[in-house]
């Protein structure tokens, strides 16, 4: 029996390592540390009476909070207006007649940065009714401007310093990408491989919406 436990533990560890290569958690390392500190502090507090009943209720509430607001294919894409790095604005309702590829990313997210050239390739395909928007997740304007300049990105990139746009499109991790047609979410992607792989996946989804 111990042999199988060791084998299971090894397989589980490998699966965790592989998953970390395709998507990044939405929380930063600093936030994670703060959460751990809060949990440790909470564990030192006195436990009230009727712990079992209250614990069960808390678990249910946490589960409901995690799924609340999550978007599914077939849902209407929430409206927002974003300021772009080039100084212009992107308003979702202005693109109701387009197919929109909407991406959420951050500079600290490895999978996000590996797939970014895919959006440059899609832009170069010169679709007549495709709108591309990559929304940076809560990094400051200086960081985003430097990122765009250093990498030479020419596709539209938006600031979301306060997380207001991301709050309308909740996700368990990034990169998070949605294909939207006529204001409706047609396809969602969580995580990413290399740019060539993502370009093909996104292009196939876009072509399917345009046919």
Structure tokens at 142: 């200086």
Residue reference for tokens 């401007």: 145
Q: What is the largest CA-CA distance in the chain?
A: 65
**Global pTM value:** 0.72
Beta bridge partners of 135: 104, 158
Per-domain boundaries in the chain: 27-68, 81-210
Q: What is the pLDDT of residue 49?
A: 40
Query: Domain 81-210's class?
Result: alpha beta
Yes or no: say if 105 and 116 are a contact pair by the CB < 8 Å rule.
Answer: yes
- State mean pLDDT over 156-168: 97
For the chain, the first-to-last Cα distance in angstroms comes to: 55
At residue 83, the pLDDT reads 98
Question: Strand ranges (DSSP E) for the chain?
Answer: 24-25, 81-83, 89-91, 99-105, 130-136, 157-158, 173-174, 176-181, 184-190
Confidence of residue 22 (pLDDT cuts 50, 70, 90): confident
Question: Hey, how many other C-beta atoms are within 10 angstroms of the C-beta on 98?
Answer: 18
Average pLDDT over residues 44-69: 40
What pLDDT score was predicted for residue 99? 98
């Amino acid at each position: 029996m111990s042999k199988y436990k060791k084998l299971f533990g090894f397989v589980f560890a490998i699966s965790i390592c592989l998953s970390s290569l395709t998507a990044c958690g939405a929380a930063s390392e600093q936030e994670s540390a703060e959460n751990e500190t809060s949990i440790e502090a909470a564990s030192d507090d006195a436990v009230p009476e009727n712990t079992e009943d209250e614990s069960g209720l808390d678990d249910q509430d946490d589960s409901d909070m995690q799924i609340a607001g999550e978007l599914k294919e077939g849902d209407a894409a929430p409206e927002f207006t974003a300021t772009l790095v080039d100084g212009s604005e992107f308003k979702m309702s202005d693109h109701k007649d387009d197919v929109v590829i909407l991406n959420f990313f951050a500079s600290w997210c490895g999978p996000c940065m590996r797939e970014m050239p895919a959006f440059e390739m899609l832009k170069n395909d010169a679709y007549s009714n495709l709108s591309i928007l990559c929304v940076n997740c809560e990094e400051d304007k200086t960081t985003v401007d430097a990122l765009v300049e250093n990498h030479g990105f020419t596709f539209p990139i938006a600031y979301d310093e306060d997380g207001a746009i991301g709050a309308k499109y909740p996700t368990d991790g990034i990169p998070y990408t949605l294909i939207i047609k006529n204001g409706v979410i047609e396809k969602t992607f969580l995580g990413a491989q290399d740019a060539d792989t993502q370009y093909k996946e996104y292009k196939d989804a876009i072509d399917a919406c345009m046919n």
